[in-house]
Amino acid sequence: MPEPTTPEVPAAGGAPAGAATTVAASFAGDDAAAAAAVAARGARRRRLPRPTMLGFATTVLGVIVLLVLAAPLFAADPDAQDPINAFAGSSFAHPFGTDDLGRDLFARVLDGGRLTLLIAGGAVLVAFLLGTLWGFVAASRRGIVDELLMRSADALMAIPQILFALVCISAFGASPLNLALVVGVLLAPTTARMARSAALQEMSRDYYAAAIAYGARQRRLLVRELLPNTTGQLAVQAAINAASAIILEASLSFVGLGIQPPDASWGTLLKEGYAFLYQRYEYAVFPALAILLTIWMLNVVADQLGGRPKRGRA
């Protein structure tokens, strides 16, 4: 029975020995498919490393977002100055200590996180909307339109990101909205490339041909057929984009192009903390840790989503 290849099967056989490694791959035939069907029906395996890792990372991210949003409810006022207590060490009142003006660093990191996450979220949204449309249109139009769209994506990717941001921000100003737009535009070309290749892959499948054959219009093909079947890959890209956006925002703020004081983001906090690195290293360490943890978890999410075999058959 020429059962469609199951996703677990690697494209190419392994060792040429023809024995052990190769065998298993090509063997995932009909019975394995049936077995997988059984496994899929609510089976719980004893060790579930992937879902657990994914669950862990999303939980951590969820807690970060929640803490950042709920900060005003429990943390100190991030703008309250207390010069006498400047550079105070970690204490119950100030878990991360205080800064040069005696402001509570814990509150400031949470407060800075709000802008950072807002900008990152906005950028992801911009990159998703722009990039998906860009990639899908390129994939479904092919020919010259495809060439033009993809070459312009290449061109955009070739511009140094900081330089691009510098020009845009000096022209339009460094408001959070502008930052989100600029970072989003910077991330759109990679998203477009990914969306295009995912779309091309789906368009070669029979269900897409069937939809053309029953007379579905372009919009329907994109929205009903392509989009739902590429969400997995788009979600991976979104997680990667979120991580990139946080880094970009931090870099921009660090060189003074991002959020301007008195507003704070993780990037500006890092920059300020860097200036006082020798007086109080925690000042720089905690925002850096916040960035590190968030990006790490986002990368775990991207890895786990990407590593998961796609549902259904290939």
Partner 1 sequence: MSETTPLLEVRSLVKRFGGKAVLDDVSFTLGRGQTLGLVGESGSGKSTTARCVLRLLDADGGEIRFDGDDVRALGAEPLRRLRRRMQVVFQDPHGSLNRRQTVAQILQAPLAAHGIGDAASRRARAAELLELVGLAGGYADRRPQELSGGQAQRVAIGRALALEPEFVVLDEAVSALDVSVRAQVLNLLKRLQDELGLTYLFISHDLAIVRYMAHQVAVMHQGRIVEAATRERLFEQPEHEYTRSLMDAIPVADPEAEQRRILG
Partner 2 sequence: MTATAPPRTAPALAVSGLSVELERGRDGAVPIVRDVSFTVERGRRMGLVGESGSGKTLTAMAVMGLLKRPLRVAGGSVRLGETELRGLRRRSLDRVRGGRIGMVYQDPMQSLNPLHKVGDQIAESLRLHTSLDRRAVRERVVELLDDVGIHDAAAKARAYPHELSGGMRQRAMIAMGLAGDPEVLLCDEPTTALDVTTQRRIVELLVRISQERGVAMVMITHDLGVAAGFCDDVAVMYAGRIVEQAPVRDLYARPAHPYTEALLSAACDLTLPLDRPIPTIPGQPPLPGLLAGGCSFHPRCPYAQEACAQERPTLDGSDRRRVACHFALASVEQTEASDV
Residue number, 5 or 260, with CB nearest to partner 1: 5
Q: Indicate whether 262 belongs to the interface with partner 1 (CB under 8 A).
A: no
Among residues 4, 45, 262, 311, which is the contact residue for partner 2, using CB under 8 A? Answer: 45
Residue number, 43 or 213, with CB nearest to partner 2: 43
Interhelix angle 105-141/282-307, rounded to 10 degrees, is 30
Q: Indicate whether 42 belongs to the interface with partner 1 (CB under 8 A).
A: no
Cis upstream peptide for 262 (omega within 30°): yes
HEC-encoded secondary structure of 62-102: HHHHHHHHHHHHHCCCCCCCCHHHCCCCCCCCCCCCECCCC
Residue number, 1 or 213, with CB nearest to partner 2: 1
**No. of H helices and E strands in the chain?**
12, 0
Running DSSP on this structure, what letter comes out for residue 223?
Answer: I
Nearest to residue 5, comparing CAs of 305, 309, 231, 236?
A: 309
Residue number, 261 or 312, with CB nearest to partner 1: 312
* Partner whose binding site includes residue 158, from partner 1, partner 2, none (CB under 5 to 8 Å by kind): none
CA distance 163 to 257: 11
Residue number, 151 or 217, with CB nearest to partner 1: 217
Q: Indicate whether 18 belongs to the interface with partner 2 (CB under 8 A).
A: yes
* Contact indicator for 117, 297 with CB cutoff of 8 Å: no
Residues in CB range of 176: below 8 A, 6 or more apart: 115, 118, 119, 122, 259, 263
Residues making up the chain, counted from first to last: 314
Q: Indicate whether 32 belongs to the interface with partner 1 (CB under 8 A).
A: no
CA distance 28 to 95: 55
Burial-class residue 53 by CB neighbours within 10 Å (0-12, 13-18, 19+). Answer: middle
* Partner whose binding site includes residue 80, from partner 1, partner 2, none (CB under 5 to 8 Å by kind): none
Q: Indicate whether 11 belongs to the interface with partner 1 (CB under 8 A).
A: no
Among residues 45, 46, 47, 311, which is the contact residue for partner 1, using CB under 8 A? Answer: 311
CB of 207 to partner 1, least distance (A): 5
Residue number, 24 or 247, with CB nearest to partner 2: 24
Residue number, 129 or 223, with CB nearest to partner 1: 223
CB of 307 to partner 2, least distance (A): 17
Among residues 6, 7, 32, 227, which is the contact residue for partner 2, using CB under 8 A? Answer: 32
CA distance 74 to 5: 54
Stretch that binds partner 2, among 35-43, 83-91, 251-259, 300-308 (CB under 8 A): 35-43
Q: Indicate whether 47 belongs to the interface with partner 1 (CB under 8 A).
A: no
Binding stretches for partner 2 (CB under 8 A): 1-3, 5, 9, 11-20, 22-27, 29-35, 37-39, 41, 43-46
Q: What does the binding site for partner 1 look like in residue numbers (CB under 8 A)? A: 1-4, 37, 40, 205-207, 209-217, 220, 224-225, 228-229, 311-314
